[in-house]
Structure 1
Amino acid sequence: MSESAAVPAEGPFAHDPGSTAAFAALEGLPTSRPAPDAPRAVVIGGGTGAPMSIRTLLSLGVATDAVVAMADDGGSTGILRAAAGATAPGDIRKCLSAMAADSSDPLTEAFRLRFTFAENHTLGNLLLSALEQTAGSFPEAIAVCEGLLHARGHVHPSTLGRVMLEADTVDGRVVRGQALASHSRCALDCVRLRSEVPIEAYAPAVEAIRAADLIVLGPGSLFTSIVPNLLVPGIVQAVRASRATVVFVCSLADVQGETRGMTALDHVEALRRHGMQDLIDVMVAHGSGPVAASAASGSPAAAALSASEAADGVHARAAGDGAGPGAGCDAGPVRPVALSPDDARAIQQAGIRLVVRDLVDRSSPTWHDPARLRAVMQEVLSLCRS
């Protein structure tokens, strides 16, 4: 989710939606650095989804790094990129906050605080951009902030290049810019990165991926948070070269527009089109009631979620913002990501293990429940060890 998707609160200060609640839900769980022999995970994504996976894995004692998309150009990040020539700080800042040893520490809270009276900038964004100038590089800025927050892992940009996202919609339009693409009123078909110079992967990001035991994609915006990392030359190659189990955590619903009307199988096919052919080992999807119970039995046909069952707990709400409807595109309310029996079989026939569980947060129906996501990640770790 981009900077522009943050939900302002009344008063001069606000937090990004869901961040405080997600962190609070995992309080009381381990906060020390992972043991030297702990499994190593890398979360690939950005926005508000990757921090959820980061906090979840850290709470399980997993040594966790993050590789973060760098195409964000909305909100505070967009202003800093355009006005100060800064490297996109927003998604890096969110992942740094998730890495913090103590989410309730005053400095950590201040780091993610958003100034609603000053163009919705966050202290973390401003600090990263300022440190990029004073420390001499963006990686040095990140390292300083990791020290300030006592981060329990490292946050790596997927590239240090100044990249822009360009998207093709399913109705044949071209949308330029991550912020506009994320709010498209028509589903995206494919995306690509543009740059005035050749795009190169950030070497420490490649090294972290190659050394990982577990690679987690998402949850988060498919085309604007997850896929942009895969478009950087060297990132998919590092995934292929690793021995890691690759897990895709599918979104619960389309919140912004870029995946409007897409099923769980459509999500998988999009990843495969953008380099992940034959690389996804496990897919985590939402399902409840008898469907989730049947899926636990390991029956291929049972691990399926009908469109009506997918809607359980994921309430439609108005999208509210967009880049304009395209011909033949549905500009209606947010819909859950459906998983039909046929789609489930297709996913499994592609060699992907499908794990279906009730993952919705009843208080925020388009968000994963942190405790439930933690439980399913624990299952996935058990699968990795076996």
Structure 2
Amino acid sequence: MTRIMLQRSAELPDALRVARSLSAPHLGPRLLFFSGGSALNKISRALKSYTYNSAHLITPFDSGGSSQVLREAFDMPAVGDLRSRLMALADESDLGQPDIYALFSHRLPKDGEPTALRTEVEELVAGKHPLIRAVSTPMGQLICDFLREFLVAAPMDFDFRGASIGNLILAGGYLAHGRLLEPVLFLMSKMVDVRGTVRGVVDCNLQLGVELTDGRRIHGQRQISGKEAPPIDTPIARLFLSEHGKEIDPGSVPLPKRNRKLIRRADLICYPPGSLFSSVVANLLPAGVGRTIARCEVPKVYLPSLGTDPEALGLTLADRVAAILAPLRADAGMEVPATRLMTHVLCDSSEDPAACAEVTERHGIPCHRLPLVSDEPERYDRRLACAALVSLV
């Protein structure tokens, strides 16, 4: 057991706080995460046992897979990571909506014949597909309406290979609601009884770009992450937002008022595991994020990724902390102490003590080594991670 100082003394794990959360998750703490991708999904699934009140601000700048096909077809933000987190937080029990969950999670085969794939979507729209027939009205009709909106607007050569049906439904809902994400995310959350709040950090169709330490620039999330392109072989110096291949001022991309309110209501703010730049730092770029966080009197915790992160090439733990602080300070003001933006770093006990010491020496932020890994050496134990976060509130 480790004792750390917040505005109070806390023990990690705190057996009383953990037990309280597990016994009444509907009254659980408001934990807020800035994330994207799938790295936090397993922890999010476990988190449902501790709290129904977590909030997840997700980057809409993904440019790979099914999301990219939709972005190119409809000039819209990426929805894949949003759908993925909604599914991770959905009530998967028999008391939830398992039929809708199955539909939203269905993915068309990657090697399917184009005509056959389009026909399958047409069967869904017509209400003839087994997955849609299993969904009761009026939700089934609403889903069909969203899919119809998508299919009518989709180009005839739309590539359905590997498409997530949930992504297509989100795209249709986006088009049906005046090209706004928030209404359809709200509706989908209600459909599958999401145990928390999932929102895009902004509702903008923008791309990510990075500047490398050798001066080169790379545009596009899939080029940065190394998942659909060769990994970057030079350290990343900074991340920026881009439009039509040109960097834009983050001041022109304000954090929506509804998300500022969500941050202010949080009991704890977490910079969680995930690709350092495209999943975590990307959410911190919009104007107002740093200022809003700096005003919050709550724990602000960095839980760094384990294993190899291609985006963190050549970066020490202290360097990764600096990468998170950079856009926050650019917004909140360079004079703002680092501890107003990040109060603690939580690492597994396998982390090098010297790396933790460097974090404190460079940034003045306490860095704590805790047993957070059990069976998989490069994955946090979901229960241990959730218990640690809940204990800090």
TM over 0.5: yes
Q: Tell whether 2:174 aligns with 1:132.
A: yes
Structure 1 distance, partners of 2:372, 2:102, is 27
Aligned to 2:26: 34
**1:94-243 paired onto structure 2 within 5 Å:** 94-102=84-92, 105-117=98-110, 118-136=160-178, 137-183=180-226, 184-186=231-233, 187-195=235-243, 198-243=252-297
| Higher relative contact order, chain-length normalized (CA < 8 Å, sep 6+) | 2
Cα displacement (A) at 1:33 = 5.8
Secondary structure (helix, strand or coil) at the match of 2:196 reads coil
Aligned to 1:366: 378
Aligned to 2:118: none
Cα displacement (A) at 1:110 = 3.4
Cα displacement (A) at 1:103 = 6.2
Cα displacement (A) at 1:372 = 2.7
Cα displacement (A) at 1:156 = 1.5
Structure 1 distance, partners of 2:108, 2:385, is 30
Paired letter, 1:215: I
Change (3 A) 1:31 1:75: farther
Aligned to 1:64: 54
Unaligned runs of 5+ in 1: 1-28, 289-304, 307-339
Aligned to 1:273: 326
Aligned to 1:382: 391
Paired letter, 2:223: L
Larger radius of gyration: 2
Change (3 A) 1:260 1:109: farther
Q: Provide the aligned length of Structure 1 versus Structure 2.
A: 299
Cα displacement (A) at 1:241 = 1.8
**1:40-79 paired onto structure 2 within 5 Å:** 40-61=30-51, 63-79=53-69
Secondary structure (helix, strand or coil) at the match of 2:369 reads strand
Structure 2 distance, partners of 1:175, 1:83, is 23
Secondary structure (helix, strand or coil) at the match of 1:262 reads coil
Cα displacement (A) at 1:361 = 5.8
Does the 8 Å contact 1:287/1:356 carry over to 2?
yes
Cα RMSD between the aligned structures?
2.4
Structure 2 distance, partners of 1:209, 1:383, is 17
Paired letter, 2:386: R
Structure 1 distance, partners of 2:368, 2:181, is 38
Cα deviations across residues 288-331 of structure 1 (Å, max 9, x unaligned)?
4xxxxxxxxxxxxxxxx33xxxxxxxxxxxxxxxxxxxxxxxxx
Paired letter, 2:242: R
Q: Which has the higher helix share?
A: 2
Cα displacement (A) at 1:158 = 1.0
Cα deviations across residues 58-113 of structure 1 (Å, max 9, x unaligned)?
32236211111121111111110011223210111111112212268343243233
Cα deviations across residues 253-284 of structure 1 (Å, max 9, x unaligned)?
224x2112322222112112222533111112
Structure 1 distance, partners of 2:73, 2:58, is 22
Q: TM-score, normalised by structure 1?
A: 0.71
Cα deviations across residues 139-176 of structure 1 (Å, max 9, x unaligned)?
11101100111112211211111111110123332110
Q: TM-score, normalised by structure 2?
A: 0.70
Secondary structure (helix, strand or coil) at the match of 2:379 reads strand
Structure 2 distance, partners of 1:138, 1:31, is 34
Does the 8 Å contact 1:283/1:353 carry over to 2?
yes
**1:334-353 paired onto structure 2 within 5 Å:** 340-341=353-354, 343-349=355-361, 350-353=363-366
Q: Identity across aligned pairs (percent)? A: 26
Q: Which runs of 4+ in 1 moved over 4 A?
A: 29-33
Change (3 A) 1:160 1:103: farther
